[in-house]
Amino acid sequence: MDVNLEILGLKVVIAPVFVGLVSLIALRYGHRAAGWLVALPINTGTIIFVLALTEGSAFAATAALGALLGIVSLSAFAIGYARSATRFRWPVCLSVASAAFVASTLVLSQVPELVVADIVGAVGSVVLVLVLVPPREDPVTPPTAPRWEIPIRMLTAALLVLAITTAAEGLGPRLSGLLSPIPVFTITLVIFTHSREGPAPVFVFLHGLQYGLFSFAAFCAVAGLLLVPYGIEVAIGGGLVAFLGVYGLVRIVLGGIQSGSPRP
């Protein structure tokens, strides 16, 4: 009984608490920071951890690699929203983007697991979004949000983790992983940003998200590869080290590109 209560606590506490903290930081530092922060493996890491405890390391490893490939669907969502945002209001954009995510997930659920192909697909899709989504400068004024928005984000996080881990046995490890990057936080941020500030800040947010997804991909790949031979502690720890390493590398590369760009 105590173990079950601990697992339930992991499902409904860890993810929303982290999401609440990330949301507060995002409101302080702007749209680009929000995009980077949404790429943190909060939900996916929690889901993988719980699945390893409840379904075993092999199941969780397959889910982690499914989450890696799920980046393709998340990128499809970003492309669908961005390409629609210049012409339509957020309800239409959200419908197009969600349809792209669902269609991509259904197709990818039929693709056999192959780690190298998953990595190439994930990284390639992120690069494609960076090419297709027009870059914009982050507004100087930080974003604002009504008081009730952050609790809604936290509740959504808890429900997502609870739903996926509860349904994992029926979904199977591959589909559980593919669904773990469901863009619930992205949806929350882009629709409120788009409705209040127009499409330009949405592009800033999506660029930040895509840069962060390089680190997310590293986490999923390393965690998935380490889970079976070394266990959950080493896998999650190694995944976080890989996440931070790639995060730092991307920031260094971006800093070099920006410093080498001609000033207007």
pLDDT digits (tens, 9 = 90+) for 1-54: 444 555 566 667 777 887 778 778 777 777 777 788 888 887 788 878 888 888
pLDDT for 255 beyond 90: no
pLDDT digits (tens, 9 = 90+) for 105-137: 888 888 887 888 888 999 999 999 888 887 766
**Banded pLDDT at 141 (limits 50, 70, 90):** low
Q: Would you give the DSSP letter of residue 228?
A: H
**Banded pLDDT at 263 (limits 50, 70, 90):** very low
> CA 123, 126, 128, 134 torsion: positive or negative?
negative
Q: Which of 167, 226, 222, 160 is nearest to 188 (CA)?
A: 160
pLDDT for 93 beyond 90: yes
Q: What would the two tokens of residue 152 be?
A: 């809604």
Cβ proximity of 236 and 225 under 8 Å: no
Q: Which of 45, 14, 13, 12 is nearest to 216 (CA)?
A: 45
Q: What would the two tokens of residue 198 be?
A: 């127009």
Each domain of the chain, given as residue ranges in start order, spans: 2-257
pLDDT digits (tens, 9 = 90+) for 213-244: 999 999 999 999 999 999 999 999 999 999 99
CA gap 51, 32 in Å, rounded: 31
Average pLDDT, the chain: 81
CA gap 70, 148 in Å, rounded: 29
**Residue 221 confidence (pLDDT):** 93
